[in-house]
Amino acid sequence: MNRLDYSVARPAATSVSINKVLKNTYILLSATLIFSALMAAASVAFQMPPMTYLLSLGAAFLLIWLVLPKTANSSSGLVVVFAITGLMGFGLGPILSMYLALSNGPQIVATAFGGTGVIFLGLSGYALTTRKDFSFMGGFLIAGMLMILVTALANIFLGIPALSLAISAVVIMLMSGFILYDTSRMIHGGETNYITMTISLYLAIYNIFISLLHILGALGGDD
């Protein structure tokens, strides 16, 4: 009897905890995206200099690497998540200002914003409805990410615009893969910490937005 009780109760409990991780992740992700957008708007309003982008990103990555691993399992992790996303949002200001100064700039920014939303919702919806296990993609995605970082580093010195566009296109593909991979990890119980999941999905959305902005700005035709 006890064995029967356990076999029935365990999947139900697992399902409840998976749904809780999904719910908490999407609530926190929504809140951080709104906060990030407000910080970006403030940064545009204050007309922050281009160096703001690098400094904010550098500070945010220091928090991700050094502080988040120690706080992800406590309530202080929430403060760290908002600090990271706030910094990254604030760093977007100079980039947005640059694109908004183009004649079709507002259209480019709005299209990149809407496009990112559609990509994220579409991929999340695909992973959630099919419930497929994309855990096999982990090694490929991280290796691809490393290759892109090395190529981007080389292109700082080479300065090839076509390579820069190719990097943005590959980043969109890799981040799309990360959305599938992360969502599948939540569905299949591979990740139970909604704070780290939020940061992971936020980074994918952020990178898709930046890359889309770059591609639309370069190929969108501002005459």
- Would you tell me which residues interact with other proteins (CB under 8 A)? 50-51, 54-55, 57-58, 61, 65, 104, 107-108, 111-112, 115, 118-119, 122-123, 126, 130, 132-140, 142-143, 145-146, 149-150, 152-153, 156-157, 169, 172-173, 176-177, 180, 212, 215-216, 219-221
Q: Residue holding tokens 């703001």?
A: 52
Which is nearer to other proteins, 31 or 152 (by Cβ)? 152
Q: Could you tell me the smallest distance in angstroms from the CB atom of residue 80 to other proteins? A: 17
Provide the residue type at 69 as one letter: P
CB of 133 to other proteins, least distance (A): 8
Task: Report the alpha-carbon distance of residue 169 to residue 152 in Å, rounded.
Answer: 12
Nearer CB in complex with other proteins: 1/101:
101
- By C-beta, is 181 or 194 nearer to other proteins? 181
Q: Which is nearer to other proteins, 23 or 131 (CB)?
A: 131
CB of 65 to other proteins, least distance (A): 5
Are 46 and 97 in contact by the 8 Å Cβ rule? The answer is no
What is the distance between the alpha carbons of residues 25 and 30, in angstroms, rounded to a whole number?
9
Which is nearest to 203 in space by CA: 68, 9, 49, 110?
68
N- to C-terminal Cα separation, the chain: 75
Nearer to other proteins, 31 or 57 (CB): 57
Residue 123 CB, shortest distance to other proteins, in Å, is 6
Angle (CA) 59 64 66, round 5°: 90
Which amino acid makes up residue 81?
V
Tell the smallest beta-carbon distance from residue 98 to other proteins (Å): 12
Contacts of 67 (CB under 8 A, 6+ apart): 80
Of 78 and 173, which CB lies nearer to other proteins in the complex structure?
173
User: d(Cα 146, Cα 136) in Å, to the nearest integer?
Assistant: 17
Quote the tokens at residue 136. 């096999």
Shortest distance (Å) from residue 1 CB to other proteins: 36
Sole residue written with tokens 């006890």: 2
Among candidate residues 65, 115, 55, the one with its CA nearest the CA of residue 87: 55
